[in-house]
Amino acid sequence: MKRLTALLVSCLLSAQAFADITALVVIEPSNRKDGMMVSRDALETHLSKVLGQPVSVTTTNDMTDAMRSTRSGGYDVFISPPQVAASALAHGYSLIGATDSDEQYLLIGRSQLASVGALRGGQIYLPQQDSIYTYLARGMLNANGLSFKDMKNVEYAHYPQAGLFALLINTSEATIVRRAEWEGWDREHSGVAKVLAVSSAVPGGFSVAVRKKLPADTRVKLAHWFETEATTCGLKPIYAHPDLAPYTRVAELGTFTPKALPGATVVNLENVKALVSNGAVLVDTRIEAEYRDKHIPGALWLPYGEKSLKDVAFDAKLDNFPGLAKLDRERNIVFQCNGPECWKSYKASKAAIAAGYKHIYWFRGGMPEWETAGLPTEKSGENLALAN
């Protein structure tokens, strides 16, 4: 029986080793030129030869389907825009590199708009819902207290440059473009529109991510080929991108918290230190593992159970925050979590405000701001008692 089991395992492993390697080339409509240069047939031929086993390559410009594939592990290799690669990196893939340097995107509005907030009730022109442009636009709106739900109309189309034309003919209040796209257009149409917000750096062009569960030698061969020979198939040279932070930010795009919170006071590091020294309670709303690993000394752990969307229009009924009842309504209360991209402390602050608490402070910068300042953190033991 043992021999039969061993034989079956051996056969299964052998079958896995020689199963087709699958790759998905994801082409954004906004990057059709580079996408059209990539030869699917050449990719299949070259990669099959390098790996010594069949490689099946699929191409798509459906961002929604591509994002779904990263979550389900639908392919072994993703050759894709940064938001697809970022999702893959969060779901069992590792990064080989990118074809282009990092770039910034600009939220552009009509010249008479005073700020991003003035877009409330207006119209915005965006590419596909899962395009990098739309991810960034959502993030910049959220950071200024707006949701797509606050817009009168959100128009989705394939070509982001057409958004500038929509501004020109007065059929839209705002759009989002790459910095290079904006600079040339603005020289030709000076005074028509202006920059309302600017994104952080985002990896440009195609990024390549491979499944971590592939055999080590297969991953090494793939990495070497993409770094040295990918140009034979129409791809630009793949350069190592050692800094994963831009991908982390891309994975969180569209989830930036607002910069203001009615009913609460938004505070910075120095404010927090002063508040705590004067008796305020600092509440850490992150999950247990994060709190146990490191937290601000003296912070009280009251985790916020988050199931709602990361959006200013979130549905609080979907969430769970029983620890709120443990807080003294007469004390100053400071909520914090993992910085501007973390919604737990924002939602906890809103829950406290809705429950009638009057002395609420929101430390939007949270742990990242505390650590960047070089301030100490502490750990908790394995037997951390639940505060709620």
DSSP-assigned letters across all residues of 334-382: EEE-SSTT--HHHHHHHHHHHTT---EEEETTHHHHHHHTT---B---T
| pLDDT digit string, tens, across residues 220-250 | 999 999 999 999 999 998 998 888 888 887 8
List b or e across 134-147, with b for residues whose CB sees 16 or more CB atoms inside 10 angstroms: bbbbbbbbbbbbbb
CATH class of 2-101+203-251: alpha beta
Right CATH number for 105-198 from 3.40.190.10, 3.40.50.1970, 3.40.50.300, 3.90.1570.10? 3.40.190.10
The CATH T-level fold of domain 265-372 is Oxidized Rhodanese; domain 1 (3.40.250)
Is the pTM here over 0.75, yes or no?
Answer: no
Chain-centroid distance of CA 122 in Å reads: 25
pLDDT at 346 over 80: yes
Domain ranges of the chain: 2-101+203-251, 105-198, 265-372
The larger pLDDT score, comparing residue 382 to residue 304, is at 304
| pLDDT digit string, tens, across residues 84-113 | 999 899 889 999 999 999 999 999 999 999
Q: Tokens for 254? A: 């569209």
The region of weakest confidence among 147-156, 213-222, 270-279, 291-300 is 147-156
Query: Which one, of 233, 172, 264, 318, lies nearest residue 48 by Cα?
Result: 233
Is there a common fold for 105-198 and 265-372? no
